[in-house]
Amino acid sequence: DTGVSQNPRHKITKRGQNVTFRCDPISEHNRLYWYRQTLGQGPEFLTYFQNEAQLEKSRLLSDRFSAERPKGSFSTLEIQRTEQGDSAMYLCASSPRLYTGELFFGEGSRLTVL
């Protein structure tokens, strides 16, 4: 399967711990997006990469959050000193080099902070 892959699918952690999520986009998709979705709500934009460059960041992305895409392929989203309010589904999406507008989403990584 060559879709967008996210790992881990589910992470349970204690408050104050750091967590990292990984997203592997579809091969040769140069655009990669991170979104966060809390229960009963639509997703919210977090950040966007074109190749390795982080072009947009939401104000939701506090200084505890950092995202990287070091070689323009996979991306990581790290949350430091997790808080219970960070509990959410973290979604990754990618889109092709020639931007058609269509987004291809991964299955998401669900974070539970106890």
Partner 1 sequence: KNEVEQSPQNLTAQEGEFITINCSYSVGISALHWLQQHPGGGIVSLFMLSSGKKKHGRLIATINIQEKHSSLHITASHPRDSAVYICALNYGGSQGNLIFGKGTKLSVKP
Give the binding site for partner 1 (CB under 8 A): 31, 33, 35, 37, 40-45, 47-48, 55-56, 58, 89, 91, 93, 99-108, 110
By beta-carbon proximity to partner 1, the closer residue of 45 and 81 is 45
In 11-45, which positions are buried (b, 16+ CB within 10 angstroms) versus exposed (e)?
Answer: bebeeeeebebebbbbeebbbbbbbbeeeeeebee
Residues pairing with 54 in the sheet = 49
Q: What are phi and psi of 39, to 5 degrees?
A: -55, 125
By beta-carbon proximity to partner 1, the closer residue of 69 and 81 is 69
CB of 85 to partner 1, least distance (A): 19
By beta-carbon proximity to partner 1, the closer residue of 40 and 85 is 40
Three-state SS string over 49-91 comes to EECCEEEEECCCCCCCEEEECCCCCCEEEEECCCCHHHCEEEE
CB of 57 to partner 1, least distance (A): 9
CB of 23 to partner 1, least distance (A): 13
By beta-carbon proximity to partner 1, the closer residue of 47 and 82 is 47
